Amino acid sequence: MRTIGGALARGALAMAGRRSPWGGGEDKGSGSGDESGEDGGQQPPSDPGRGPRNPWLPPGDNTRRSANIEDIFKAREQRKTGGGGPGRPGGGMPRMPSRPDGKSWLPLMIGAAALLWLGVSSVHMVGPKEEGTVTTFGKYARTIGPGISLTLPWPIQAVQVNDVTSIQRYAIPEGEGEKLMLTSDQNLVDLSYLVRWNIKNLRDYRFRLADPEETVREVAEAAMRSTLAEITLDDALSGAGRARAEQGVRERMQRILDAYQSGVAVQGVEIKKADPPTKVIGAFQQVTAAQQDAERDRSNARAWAQQLLARAQGDAAAFDKVYAEYRLAPEVTRRRMYYETMERVLSNNEKVIVESNGVTPYLPLSEVRRRPVAPAPADATAAAQAPSAGVTP
Amino acid sequence: MNTIWQKYKGPLIAAAVILVALLSSVVIVPESQQAVVLRFGEPVRVINRYRPNVDYGKTGAGLSLRIPFAERVERIDKRLLSVDMQPQQVLSTDQLRLNVDAYARFRIIDPVRMVRTAGTPERVKEQLEPILTSELRQELGKRTFQSLLTAERGRAMANIRDGLDKEAREYGVQVVDVRIKRADLPDGALESAFTRMQAAREQEATTIRAQGQKQAQIIRAEAEAEAAKTYAAAFGKDADFYDFYRAMQSYDYAFTNGEHGTTLVLSPDNSYLKEFRGR
């Protein structure tokens, strides 16, 4: 009777699971039904030799009634003694191979399974970054560190291993969506940031919070918003303001998470991106353009100023030099300069010399020919006025 | 096998019954749960009840016994739970709207009361949500928009938490924290905020340009003043000579550099020609 052991064990397990004697009883029944490949309870009673025959039934076993447990065992026993030989049509269970000395393999297999179970459920390998919590019937017993640890086998003690030292990263928002947040000056900023955290106290992490990961996320969100609501848009966009905000968020998060006794350590908060919203980004670029325009205006002015000053200094220096010479011989220098200038002026220009005042000026024909477009009389008058106004020392 | 069964039928059945009885009288309570034992529906005791500052391993979790069939066990979460609010529109005293999304963290500290009043933690959440919403609206509605944004700074969140906590105690629940998760402008306000931001930036751009021009002007004027000073320092030494010197330069510039020659009509009285007549 090799199946009954399994059926009983399974029944017991089912009972342990449901903690109900009735559940266990039903399981036992269906368990034996599965294995024999027939189910006495569900087949309607039928006359032997008539009606539809179940092809899986062994011949001769046709009397059917509601089977009780003993019946099932009995039927099994009969079949075992009768059948089991190869070639018998519809012949029950496949036989397990026997050991050479004719004994069953079953005790050995059970032993092996028990050993395996002990090995799997009581020896625990914990990786270098991990820790595990050991619970005895659900009650916290201890925390095991990296390496191999022994515990009592499973259902008595259970171990759950978590990665504690490696740093988890949450990007908020996930993906590339725009996340607008309000700043203290009621402007909006498109922000995405990264939260890095790990577990600093595995016990708290496992038992204190219903959903620690979601909590970290929500706390990060709340902390970021409240920090951002305290700084202006310009601060949020600038590097220094960002660094302050990151620090603020981190401290705030840690404070809240510690208040929850979450066992989480926030390692850092990094603002990946802080941009103006896409809808107004054009206006922001205009500001940059304006800044560049203003800078260009200023540097143009500075260049011009430098030019002007240099020129003034040059002029002044030149005057000083000439004046120093002039002081040595004022009259001569003055005359010399006058003649030299007049020479240059007159040698380059047309000259008309009118002998005496009161004579109508003679119109220079050569001039008129050369510049037919120019109104000659006006030109002449202008020219006539120029010397009397200008060249009088 | 049959013979074994026949022989030990009695003891086997007895063993099975004892096993079943044992299993049904043992309760396993994990650290994350507290269990209310109900005897015929009447709560009689609590296993692994929440007590602050008790170390894990000493809280009463693990194996416990109960009277089979007579006692039923109601398992209740011991951990910090969250109640999430539907986003709410809050109107500030200055008639601006803000969409607020908040959460509350609570823990069940009196499971017997909770089982009596609400039944399950889910029901507690359902009960708490509207209370949280109304507390939030009441408290935030007393504030200006600006202080709504920085609600965490002031007493607002603490007031909301205290208010919610008072109500929640009826259910055997302690509210640990209330926090605003998001505070966003509603759609209409969002558009006008964008417009406002745009206008502000345009104004800034114009200001920056004007400032740039102003500064350029000042730089030029300063340079001119500086140049004038330099000139004055040099030329002031002899104003009469300067007049002559500058006139010479000016003639040079005005008459020498012209592309087309200028026709000068000179009178013999001219100083330059005074020797022309011969003396």
Token pair recorded at residue B183: 């505070």
Q: In angstroms, what separates the C-alpha of A95 from chain B's closest C-alpha?
A: 16
Secondary structure class of A350 (helix, strand, coil) = strand
Q: Is the ipTM of this complex over 0.85?
A: no
* Interchain CB contact of B14 with A (< 8 Å): no
Dump pLDDT digits (tens) for A318-342. 889 988 888 898 888 888 888 888 8
Closest Cβ–Cβ partner in B81, B185, B204 for A182: B185
Asked whether residue A305 carries a pLDDT value surpassing 90, the answer given is yes
* pTM to 2 decimal places: 0.66
Token couple for B244:
């002559």
Q: Indicate if the pLDDT at residue A64 is higher than 60.
A: no
Task: Check residue A68 and give its pLDDT.
Answer: 60
Task: Give the integer Cα–Cα distance in Å for B48 and B32.
Answer: 9
| Residue A294 scores a pLDDT above 50 | yes
What is the predicted pLDDT for the residue at A14? 43
Lookup: tokens for B279? 């003396």
Q: Which of B82, B190, B254 sits opposite A210 (nearest CB)?
A: B82
The rounded Cα B100 to chain-centroid distance in angstroms is 11
**Cβ under 8 Å to A: B residues 130-149:** 145-146, 149
Residue A190 has pLDDT above 80, yes or no: yes
Q: Report the distance separating Cα B165 and Cα A75, nearest Å.
A: 67
**How many interface pairs between A and B have CB atoms less than 8 angstroms apart?**
332
- Residue A88: pLDDT above 60? no
Interface contact B256-A348, CB threshold 8 A: yes
Point out the residues of chain B with pLDDT beneath 50. Answer: none
Q: How close B193 gets to chain A, by Cα (Å)?
A: 7
Residue A181 has what pLDDT? 87
Closest chain A residue to B239, measured at CA:
A323
CB within 8 Å: A320 and B223: no
Q: Name which of B12, B45, B6 is nearest B29 in CA terms.
A: B45
Closest-approach residue (CA) in chain A for B195: A280
Q: A168-275: which CATH architecture?
A: 2-Layer Sandwich (3.30)
For residue B102, what are its two tokens?
A: 């908040």
Q: Quickly list DSSP for B77-100.
A: E-SBEEEEPPPEEEE-TTS-EEEE
Contact B258 A349 (CB under 8 A): yes
By the 10 Å C-beta count (0-12 exposed, 13-18 middle, 19+ buried), A38 is classed as buried
Tokens 């692994």 -> residue: B48
pLDDT of residue B74: 85
Question: Considering only CB atoms, which chain B residues are within 8 Å of A20?
Answer: 24
| Torsions phi, psi for A190 (to 5 deg) | -90, 115
Is A208 in Cβ contact with B216 (below 8 Å)? no
User: Where is pLDDT greater, at A208 or A33?
Assistant: A208
Which positions in chain A touch B24 (Cβ < 8 Å)? 19-21
Query: Which B residues in the span 155-184 are in contact with A, Cβ-Cβ below 8 Å?
Result: 176-177, 179-184
| Mutation target among B12, B201, B213, B251 for the A interface, most CBs of A within 10 A | B201
The pLDDT > 90 percentage for chain A reads 16
**Which of B148, B263, B273 has the highest number of chain A CBs within 10 A, making it the mutation to test binding with A?**
B263
For B204: left if phi > 0, alpha if psi spans -120 to 50, otherwise beta; the answer is alpha
Contact of B251 with chain A, judged by CB distance below 8 Å, is answered with yes
- pLDDT score, position A291: 93
* CA distances (Å), origin B262, targets A150, A301, B266: 115, 36, 12
Which secondary-structure segment (H or E) carries A370? helix A365-370
Please name every residue paired with A274 in a beta bridge, in sequence order, or none if there are none.
Answer: A191
Per-domain residue ranges for chain A? Answer: 1-20+47-78, 122-163, 168-275
Residue A225: name the closest of B81, B276, B270, B149 by CA.
Answer: B149
Question: Measured between CB atoms, which of B1, B62, B149 is closest to A184?
Answer: B149
Of A207, A225, A379, the CB nearest to B31: A207
Instruction: Report d(CA B71, CA B248) in Å as an integer.
Output: 124
Q: Which two tokens stand for residue A214?
A: 């979601």
Which of A71, A139, A350 would best serve as a mutation to test chain B binding (most B beta carbons within 10 A)? A139
Residue B231: list chain A partners with CB under 8 A: 312, 315-316
B202-211: Cβ within 8 A, 24+ apart: B202/A283, B202/A286, B204/A287, B204/A290, B205/A283, B205/A286, B205/A287, B205/A289, B205/A290, B206/A290, B208/A287, B208/A290, B208/A291, B208/A293, B208/A294, B209/A290, B209/A293, B209/A294, B209/A297, B211/A294
Residue among A283, A341, A391 whose CB faces B202 most closely: A283
* Structure confidence at residue A370 as a pLDDT band (50, 70, 90): low
Q: What is the pLDDT of residue B257?
A: 66
Q: Is B175 in contact with B105 (CB distance < 8 Å)? A: yes
Mean pLDDT of all residues in A142-160: 84
